[in-house]
Each structure stands twice: as C-alpha cells, then as structure tokens.
Amino acid sequence: MDPSLYRYSLYIALPLMLFFGFHMLLGRTPEKKVFSNFLLSRRLMGTALLILSANYAVHLFYAIRLKDVHATILMNLSTYFLCYWLFSSAMMTLLDNRYITFRRFGIHLAIWFVYSVLSGLALLLPDGSKALPWGIAGLAALLVIYGMFLSWRLLRTYAKAIRMFENTHSDDIGSYIRWLSVFTYWAIGFGVGCGLLTFLPDEYVYLWILSSIPFYIYLYCCYQNYILFYEKVENAFQEGRQTQTMQEATPPQNMADEDMPSYYADLAVQLKDWMAGEGFRQPGITINELAILLGTNRTYLSEYINSVFRMSFRDWITDLRIEYAKRLIKSRSRLKIQEVSELSGFISPSHFTRTFSAKEGCSPARWRRIHRAQDEA
C-alpha cells in the first residue's frame, strides 16, 4: 500500500466527517415543538457520523490497516453494523414519529453487541486457520443482510407515506421527502460497496475512504435543505395520519353504480357543482378541507374518489388542473406559462411544467405551439 495516499484520503475525509457529525448533533433548529422529531433524527445521524469519524481516526492515527488487516476489517464491520441502525433510525424517525422506543433501541443494541462479540471471537482464531476468512466472510454477509432488512423496512414506510400524501393532499408533498428514497437506495449501494471495499487489496484501500465523501456531503446537504420544508411535511403527516385512522375505523365498501348509497349520490352532485365552480384551482387544498366544504366525511369522500375516479385524491385534482390549464392555453393564447400555472392552482411553474409534460408528453409551451398550428391549419 502507498501510505501517503492512505493518509491523505483520511486527512480529507476525517475533518469533513467531524464537521458534519458535530453540526448535526449540536446545530440549532427553530424553537418549535414540531421540530422535536427532526432534531432527534438529526442527532441520531450526527451520532452515526461521529462514530464513523472515530473509526477513521483509528485508521489515521494508529494506522491499524498497516498493522493488522483482519482486525481492521472486523472493526469496520462492527462499526458499520451500529451505524446502519443509526442511519435507518434517523430516516425512519422522519417518516414515523413513534418509531424510536426504548424496546426497539434495546433490541438493536443487543444485536449489535452480539455481532461485535462474534467479531471479537473471530479475531481469536489463528491467522493461519482456514476458519478465519470464512468467519470474516460470514460476518460480512450478516452485515449485508441486516442492512438490506433495514433498507426494506425504510422503503416500505416511505412508500406508505407517499400513498398517504397522495390520498390527502393536492400538492406533491412527496417531492419534499424524495431525498429519503434517493438516500436509501444510495445507502444500499454504498453499504454493500463498503463491505466489499473493506476487503480491497491494501494498495486500493484509499478508494474505500474517498468513496464516502460524496455520500456524506449529499446527506448533510439534504438535512440542511429539508429543514426549510419539514414543518409543512410534518403537518401533512399529522393530517394524513388522522385521515388514515378514520378510514381504518370505517371499512371501505365495494359497490357498483346501481347500488351506490344515497349519500354517495348526493356526494356526486356536490362534487359536480364544486368542479363546475373550479374549486380545484385553490392551491394546496386537502381532502379534509374539501370534506368540510362539502359537509361530508373525509373517509367517504376519499373512498368515493378512489372507487369512482380510480385514482388518488392528488392525481384527481392534478387531472382537473391540467385539463383547466389546457383550456386556458387554448382560449387565452397571450397568457404566460407562469400565469397559466398560477391560475390552475399549481404550487410553482416548474411543478406545473413537470406535471404537464409527464401527462401530455410535451411541455405546455410546445403543446400550445402544436395546437395553435392545428387550429391555423
């Protein structure tokens, strides 16, 4: 191994890790109760980063990789095992404010302790023993399985949150937490990659250290950016959970049009009047607000939209807005795209353009040119 490359890579990574870790652990947040969960998540993430920093410090100041490769690998695996849970818990806390419990914390801490003991026992095997490489490989496999399980649970919770937002909010609230999904998929690749990079030949071990830098920069920047939207997302979570609780308490009914309950027939008339009055143009409208406006139960309203229109609340509102925007573009050709977006109820022109393009296959500006040419022809 080239010791200079090894040490220089640690000189770059360790200060960044320490800065990220301490800032996430000790940095201030708005003094509002709603941010308590965000603060817990960030502190968990900061703790994980500082544990990884301690690992890097051992590499830098004691050059353990140059002295005992097997001990280094086992130390890395034990460190990653603990940090996997801290990373996962920090993400899960942002999606479920009831996730962290003393029982769950104790269970995972005990699992990590057993894993670390097994790592220590593996070190007691003589270097020439054939069981040592198999023991290390088995511990690495356990780490990967554990990480995949945590990732699967996180992605399942993320998907559940997205479905909840789509059934309760007209705005794309899910876009504010999409970084959690990106980070998780990246973490899966990075975690498995780290497990493999740990076993790299000595001359390439600096790649293992340098590969972590963009990963943690992305994580830090995402947390810094998310604080701007956290309150909005958390309020959406609270409202969505209330709606889900009511829906679970009222089992859905599968019904055909001919035997639709009378209150559904009344609801159909009310919704028709509401759509004729272009109520969908109200920015940020939620299913709860619409239910109150119509004087009905949001559980019944959600069930009606899902069963009759065959789409989520957000997709239904988005379709109404897109159709309205198309009518505006055709009838008022002098309107700018930004004005069309605002009049149609979209939260921003960029979101309108992205949504319109996904539905129609082209941008609003191009759609206008195509239909103008057709009309002139």
- Look at residue 322 and tell me if it is in a domain: no
Residue 258 has pLDDT above 80, yes or no: no
Q: Are both 36 and 164 inside the same structural domain?
A: yes
- Look at residue 254 and tell me if it is in a domain: yes
The CATH number of residue 371's host domain is: 1.10.10
Q: Are both 136 and 256 inside the same structural domain?
A: no
Q: Convert the pLDDT of each residue in 110-153 to its tens digit.
A: 999 999 998 888 777 776 566 777 778 888 888 888 988 999 99
What is the rounded distance in angstroms from the CA atom of residue 202 to the CA atom of residue 325?
60
Q: Are both 44 and 109 inside the same structural domain?
A: yes
Residue type, 272: K
Question: Could you tell me which of 313, 372, 365, 289 has the C-alpha nearest to residue 167?
Answer: 313
Least confident of 195-204, 248-257, 289-298, 363-372: 248-257
What is the rounded distance in angstroms from the CA atom of residue 44 to the CA atom of residue 21?
10
Q: Are both 141 and 190 inside the same structural domain?
A: yes
What one-character DSSP code corresponds to residue 82?
Answer: H
Residue 257 has pLDDT above 60, yes or no: no
Q: Are both 219 and 296 inside the same structural domain?
A: no
What is the rounded distance in angstroms from the CA atom of residue 190 to the CA atom of residue 147?
11
Q: Are both 216 and 355 inside the same structural domain?
A: no
Q: pLDDT tier at 245 (50, 70, 90 boundaries)?
A: low
> Which whole number is the average pLDDT over 286-300?
86
Q: Convert the pLDDT of each residue in 319-335 to its tens digit.
A: 999 999 999 988 887 88
Q: Are 47 and 86 in contact (CB under 8 A)?
A: yes
What CA–CA distances, in Å, run from 262 to 254, 259, 266, 274?
A: 15, 9, 6, 18
- Look at residue 320 and tell me if it is in a domain: no
pLDDT score, position 191: 67
pLDDT score, position 211: 80
Q: Are both 358 and 265 inside the same structural domain?
A: no
Give the up-direction half-sphere exposure of residue 373: CA atoms within 13 A in the CB hemisphere: 6
Please provide residue 285's backbone torsions phi and psi, each rounded to the nearest 5 degrees: -65, 140
Number of domains, the chain: 3
Q: Are both 166 and 279 inside the same structural domain?
A: no
pLDDT score, position 251: 47
Q: Where does a domain end: 237, 268, 292?
A: 237
Q: Are 298 and 242 in contact (CB under 8 A)?
A: no
What is the rounded distance in angstroms from the CA atom of residue 71 to the CA atom of residue 63?
12
Q: Are both 162 and 196 inside the same structural domain?
A: yes
- Look at residue 321 and tell me if it is in a domain: no
Mean pLDDT of the chain: 84
pLDDT: is 73 or 2 the higher one?
73
231: containing domain: 3-237
Q: Are both 283 and 342 inside the same structural domain?
A: no
Q: Are both 199 and 88 inside the same structural domain?
A: yes
Share of the chain above pLDDT 70, in %: 87
Provide Rg for the chain, Cα atoms: 27
Q: Are 184 and 44 in contact (CB under 8 A)?
A: no
What is the rounded distance in angstroms from the CA atom of residue 25 to the CA atom of residue 18?
10
* Number of neighbouring beta carbons within 10 Å of residue 167: 22
- Look at residue 333 and tell me if it is in a domain: yes
What is the rounded distance in angstroms from the CA atom of residue 305 to the CA atom of residue 184?
32
What is the rounded distance in angstroms from the CA atom of residue 187 to the CA atom of residue 181?
10
Q: Convert the pLDDT of each residue in 75-113 to its tens digit.
A: 888 898 999 999 999 999 999 988 999 999 999 999 999
